Structure 1
Amino acid sequence: MNYWCDIGVNLLSEQFAADRQQVLDRAVASGVNQLVLIGSDIAESQQNLQFCQQQYLNLELVTTAGIHPHYSAQVTADWLQQLELLIKESKVVAIGECGLDFNRDFSPRPQQQDVFAQQLQLAVQYKKVVYLHERDAFTRQIAMLKQHNIQQGVAHCFTGNVQQLRAYLDLGLYIGITGWLCDDKRGSELQQAIAYIPDDRLLLETDAPYLLPKTIQPKPKSRRNEPAYLHYVAEKVAQLKQYSLTEVAQLSWQNSQQLFGFKSRQDHV
């Protein structure tokens, strides 16, 4: 049986409120043994941390902690101090989801850049992984990453082209691939870029409950994505890279251990 780490789950989403434990049970049954929960603001990051501190059989939970660009305008005066406390916790493995989003502009761009810059400074200070979001802001985001000499992180839910992929790889970052890859229309550029992702930089994620892979047949009635569907993303990666599913499982597992520092589980490799 293959073992998987889903490096991007919005587990405390309201969409999981009614059956969160069952979602975890289905994840384990499908071979997903590790989940990285995504923190989008201080409150969610704190809730994620509390959730991760519970014990689950055959399942390891960790979380990111940070401010998503959508919420940059809503930070409190002491948000940076609160984030600094969070990232000292062993279950917090990355700073983020952080970055820039010039598509929806839910927060003013200057505020997005200021909050992002402070999180990057914190990442450098504490030698923490950065968990990156970017939409329609690639040039500015890359410039800020270079400015802060960021070399440890992941482009979460990467949907870009080969040129953008290479820019992230040149910084030494990992690439998070979601069900976006399974959409032949919307994901066509990403499908072309997959061949250029080195074996030691590939990570898999569902971004559940979002980005349900279009390759799932029949579609779940809920139309909701969950960690148990991670293997559909892996199957598409295997098809495009002409690897076996086991090879994709081993590579993505090893890379997740390397980046996020999970406790050693050599029996799964």
Structure 2
Amino acid sequence: MHLIDIGANLTHESFDRDRDAVLARAREAGIVQMVITGASREHSPKALELAQAHPGFLYSTAGVHPHHAVEYTAECDAEMRALIAHDEVVAVGECGLDYFRDFSPRPAQRRAFEQQLQIAVDTGKPLFLHQRDAHEDFVAIMRNFEGKLGPCVVHCFTGTREEAFAYLDRDWHIGITGWLCDERRGQHLREIVPHLPLDRLMIETDAPYLLPRTLKPMPKDRRNEPAFLAHIVEELARDRGEPVETVAARTSATAREFFRLPAP
């Protein structure tokens, strides 16, 4: 299989000890390209540096996650715009709303989200979006930019069937992670994914988070990594009743078109 992981937090400190080995295992597992998530003022520049160190294999996003929305100042906005000007940065984000944790006040989240949406309007780059327990406000803010934005993906989708169809109705894409493999929280996703068109569906690990609970054997450190994307694809294909090769090829083609990636 040739796979594209559209969301991996490889700048996370848990990868500092063996990042090169993680990348080597990813290649061995069929990962041909990967998008490294930039989600803060600290980590967005690191994601770009990592992408520049592995041309053609790694790409990055640049943005500020709603958890960090309080850091979104005018200076931060300028920093994000400078990063997004690089060719290796293929999307604006991770940005959006998270009312589950509320690590930043909701008004700050909404302001930071709107400012990053404006960057997407100004640059024409795709959006890498986050939404958790904030669907109504999320859609309302996005509606204010309707007709001005390029491609959008709601990454790490964990929502309801109604939310999924609301996103599809707006021609957005959906990213599926190992949450699908969580029998405690992700069972509803197994009923949703058969209804997602393959030209709107992409796959991701969100490493080091969301280790698939159906993975055997489990790594001792319980850290997720891009090499485990193949397991997620197998689970996804089973739920859809389709060959693994078909799901792998189609989701990779969708990701390549969405992020405007060259053929590996």
Equivalent residue number for residue 202 of structure 2: 203
- Kept after mapping to 1: 8 A contact 2:51/2:59: yes
3-state SS of 2:91 partner: strand
| Structure 2 residues not aligned, in runs of 5+ | none
Matched, 1:68 2:65: yes
TM alignment of 1:190-229, pairs within 5 A? 190-229=189-228
Query: Is 35-44 or 25-34 further displaced after alignment?
Result: 35-44
Where 1:78 maps in the other structure, the secondary structure is helix
The separation in 2 between residues aligned to 1:77 and 1:84, in whole angstroms, is: 11
2:89 matches 1:89: no
Shift of residue 151, structure 1, vs aligned partner: 5.0
TM-score by length of 2: 0.96
C-alpha distance in 2, partners of 1:27/1:140?
A: 37
Q: Would you say 1:106 and 2:103 are equivalent positions?
A: yes
Task: Using the TM superposition, give the Cα deviation of residue 78 of structure 1 relative to its aligned residue in structure 2, in angstroms.
Answer: 1.0
Which residue identity is paired with 2:179? W
8 Å contact kept, 2:153–2:173: yes
Deviations, residues 50-105 of structure 1 (Å, cap 9, x unaligned): 1111136xx61000000100111123431111111111100001111000011111
Aligned partner of 1:117 in structure 2 is 114
What's the counterpart of residue 257 of structure 2? 258
> Secondary structure of the equivalent of 2:103?
coil
Aligned residues: CA RMSD? 1.2
Q: Does 1:147 align with 2:150?
A: no
| Count of residue pairs brought into register by the alignment | 262
Map 1:3-14 → 2, pairs under 5 A: 3-14=2-13
Secondary structure of the 1:11 match is: coil
User: Unpaired segments of 5 or more residues in structure 1?
Assistant: none
* Worse-matched range after superposition: 107-116 or 79-88: 79-88
What is the 5 A alignment of 1:146-165?
146-149=143-146, 150-165=149-164
Q: Distance in 1 between the 2:208 and 2:158 partners?
A: 17
In structure 2, distance between residues paired with 1:27 and 1:151: 29
TM-score normalised to structure 1 length:
0.94
**Structure 1: which amino acid aligns with 2:49?**
Q
Other structure's SS at 2:11 match: coil
1:93-127 Cα offsets, whole Å, 9 max, x none, are 11110000111111111111011001111111211
The whole-number CA distance in structure 2 between the counterparts of 1:193 and 1:55 is: 35
Aligned to 1:53, what secondary structure does the other structure show? helix
Counterpart contact for 1:9–1:38, Cα < 8 Å: yes
Provide Cα deviations, 1:229-262, integer angstroms capped at 9, x if missing partner: 0011101110011111100111111001110000
Q: Retained in 2: the 8 A contact 1:151–1:172?
A: no
User: Which consecutive aligned stretches of 4+ in structure 1 deviate over 6 angstroms post-superposition?
Assistant: none
